[in-house]
Amino acid sequence: MMSLLNHHTPSILPFLGTTGLDGIILRDLDRTFPSEPLFATGQGPALLANVLKAVSVHVPDVGYCQGMNFIAAKLLLLWTCPSINDTPPSSSKPSSSVDQDAFHVLSFVVRRHAALWSPGMAGYWLATLFARALPLPTFAHVWDCFLVDGMKMLLRVALLLLSWMEPSLLHASDMHEASILLSRPPKLAPSPSNGGCVRSAMSFKVTRSTLIQLEDQRQTELVARWISAHAPPLASGQMKHDDAVFYPEVDNPWVTNKPSLDMDQLCRDVVGLDAAVASDVAVL
């Protein structure tokens, strides 16, 4: 890539429409892998800014959220951006709500395999799709499987890293210390090849049926959270931080500038889905 840049000095494209996210994108450039040679000069950050700006223009419902800069930067290093299918992950998931589903699922899966949980692992690992946590060769192997198997692979890798980090996490004095440990690149177990991480991760059982079941549970819990949000406050006076992570749709003190959940629309959507399922069953 560096040889390509020797023949072309990129600049931030001025002709892309303004989305209101330009300032946020520019602020994140300096802290995106500054030790990488590509991003240590003005050339790499300009390329990264163009990619992030183009995504925000091309997919306005997604726009830009924290973590995308690390993902795009790793893909620039791998030069695989054109090969990624732009099929949306779901029919209606504005902004970063897809991440919230992943956080929720990870919390349940982790509790089945380990005796600890910290929201830090989801923010640092899943929000960046392991772009910050894994070295480039291992990241490439993980993404080979992620592009085929989807979220299952990311959850398996998260469980693998937790199993390797479990002794340190269990000896942490408090959750703050555990969060600091999770924010650092994990020390990978010795392996004869970078593919060893993927092979080890495959030993953790994560099925699509389990993910669907857990998302159904999240949607059910979401309705309960919405109802309780309009009830008298909790004895503690505030909601748990996990509530804001897993249920951002609920209007609560941890989330600002979030539109309140339209309960009537939610009920209409549920009725519509029930009718669609009944129709499909009748056809089958």
Indicate the range of 77-91, 145-159, 172-186 predicted with least confidence: 77-91
Instruction: Centre a 10 Å sphere on the Cβ of residue 262 and count the other Cβ atoms it contains.
Output: 12
- Which two tokens mark 281? 């069953």
Number of Cβ within a 10 Å radius of residue 39: 21
More confidently predicted of 199 and 283 = 199
Q: Which two tokens stand for residue 38?
A: 């590509």
The string of DSSP letters for the chain reads -HHHHTT------SSSPP-S-HHHHHHHHTTSSTTSGGGGSSHHHHHHHHHHHHHHHH-TTT---TTHHHHHHHHHHHT-GGGS----SSSS--TTHHHHHHHHHHHHHHHHH-S---HHHIIIIITTTTTTTS-HHHHHHHHHHHHHHTHHHHHHHHHHHHHHHHHHHHT-SSHHHHHHHHTSPP-PPP-SSTHHHHHHHTTS---HHHHHHHHHHHHHHHHHHHHHHTSSPPTTSS--HHHHHH-TTS--TT--S-PPP-HHHHHHHHHHHHHHHHHHHHH-
Question: In the predicted model, what is the mean pLDDT of the chain?
Answer: 67
Categorize the per-residue pLDDT at 40 as very low, low, confident or very high, splitting at 50, 70 and 90: confident
In the predicted structure, residue 21 carries a pLDDT above the cut 80: yes
Ramachandran region, residue 95 (left: φ > 0; alpha: ψ -120 to 50; beta: rest):
left
pLDDT at 189 > cutoff 50 = yes
pLDDT at 5 over 60: no
The pLDDT of residue 87 is: 45
Of 138, 79, 119, the C-alpha closest to 240 is 119
pLDDT at 213: 78
pLDDT > 80? residue 57? yes
Q: What is the pLDDT of residues 112-153, one digit of tens each?
A: 444 444 445 556 677 777 887 788 888 888 888 888 778 788
Rounded-to-integer distance, Cα 106 and Cα 21, Å: 29
Asked whether the predicted pLDDT for residue 72 surpasses 50, the reply is yes
For 21-32, what is the mean pLDDT? 87
Give pLDDT, residue 198: 80
Q: How confident is the model at residue 271 (pLDDT cuts 50, 70, 90)?
A: low
**Residues 206-263: pLDDT tens digits?**
777 877 777 777 777 777 766 666 555 444 444 454 455 455 555 444 444 445 556 6
Mean pLDDT, rounded, for 254-276: 60
Domains of the chain: 2-83 (1.10.8.270), 97-201 (1.10.472.80), 208-283 (no CATH)
pLDDT value for 274: 65
